[in-house]
Amino acid sequence: MELAKKGDRVAITRADLDNATWRKSSRSGGSGQCVEVASVKGLIALRDSKNPHGPALLHTPAEWRAFLAGVQAGEFDDLA
């Protein structure tokens, strides 16, 4: 799927989120306090595993890559 250009809008429905293939870290424990991630219509969706039918945050692939690069560079270590 081609990503929307800057300024374009992408409609994400509840069904899109419900039917997405959600993943979480293999290091997450069984307590259900995890962040889950899925690819939905060319965007990256994040949600709280304790609330799978709640809201999801949507990010472009570029935003997601920037976040992951920041994690790998230790930019958020002071928050842990």
pLDDT of residue 5: 52
Residue owning tokens 């692939």: 61
Q: What is the pLDDT of residues 19-60, one digit of tens each?
A: 999 999 888 777 777 899 999 999 999 999 899 889 999 999
Q: How far apart are CA 12 and CA 21, in angstroms?
A: 15
Find the Cα–Cα–Cα–Cα dihedral 76, 35, 61, 68, rounded to 10°. 30
Q: Which amino acid does the sequence have at 36?
A: E
Q: Both tokens of residue 8?
A: 């374009």
Give the pLDDT band of residue 14 (cuts 50, 70, 90): confident
| pTM of the predicted protein model | 0.78
Amino acid at 4: A
Q: How many other CB atoms are there within 10 angstroms of residue 40's CB atom?
A: 19
